[in-house]
């Protein structure tokens, strides 16, 4: 099957990064019988929209106070600015309620030659390559770390994302691009 040079396939999703981080298995020396793991007693989190190009590995993200139709529309406009010239962006995404909002109809109609939304079947996150990006981000930026503030968490996640600002082989391999 030939590649369509006029299309660019993107995987999009949302993610929350928790301030209390993620705890994973860790090796503890035998002489340290009772290790102490600091844990932030809070449910503070950072909400993030993200999308990865399945052609180039280009990654686009935006933090948001909430996920709703208004903030999703803003993220779509951000994505459209990063679209490759001459290519229609096909965005593969889940069925979150705000992805189907009536508020989006004018933007989607106005930009139908530039953007198309392609919805995954319900309850199928395994089909979304962006899920692998979130998993890697957590492993690199939040696993077994203590964050004293939400700003520290955001800084750690942004540092991870900074490595992926340009199209890159890490995300290409992660998303199954050869």
For the chain, the domains span 9-15+42-174
Q: What are phi and psi of 64, to 5 degrees?
A: -145, 145
Q: pLDDT over 70 for what percent of the chain?
A: 93
Over residues 113-142, the pLDDT tens digits come to 999 999 999 988 889 999 999 999 999 999
Cα distances (angstroms) measured from residue 124 to each of 2, 9, 120, 131: 26, 18, 7, 11
Residue 1 has pLDDT above 80, yes or no: no
User: For 155-168, what is the mean pLDDT?
Assistant: 90
CATH fold label, 9-15+42-174? Nucleotidyltransferase; domain 5 (3.30.420)
Task: Give this prediction's pTM.
Answer: 0.87
Going by pLDDT thresholds of 50, 70 and 90, the confidence category of residue 174 is confident
Residue of 11, 48, 49 lying closest to 177 (CA atoms)? 11
96: tokens are 């979150």
- Do residues 141 and 157 lie in contact, with contact meaning Cβ atoms separated by under 8 Å? yes
Who wins on pLDDT, 66 or 30? 66
């Amino acid at each position: 099957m030939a590649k369509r040079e006029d299309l660019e396939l993107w995987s999009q999703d949302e993610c929350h990064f928790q301030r209390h981080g993620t705890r994973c298995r860790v090796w503890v020396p035998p002489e340290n019988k009772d290790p102490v793991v600091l844990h932030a007693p809070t449910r503070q989190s950072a909400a993030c929209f993200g999308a990865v190009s399945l052609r180039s590995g280009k990654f686009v993200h935006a933090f948001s106070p909430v996920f709703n139709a208004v903030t999703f529309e803003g993220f779509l406009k951000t994505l459209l600015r990063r679209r490759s010239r001459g290519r229609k962006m096909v965005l593969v995404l889940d069925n979150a309620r705000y992805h189907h909002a009536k508020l989006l109809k004018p933007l989607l109609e106005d930009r139908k030659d530039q953007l198309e939304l392609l919805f995954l079947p319900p309850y199928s996150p395994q089909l979304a390559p962006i899920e692998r990006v979130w998993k890697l981000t957590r492993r690199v930026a939040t696993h077994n770390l203590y964050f004293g503030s939400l700003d520290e968490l955001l800084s750690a996640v942004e540092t991870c994302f900074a490595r992926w600002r340009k199209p890159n082989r890490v995300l290409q391999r992660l998303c199954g691009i050869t």
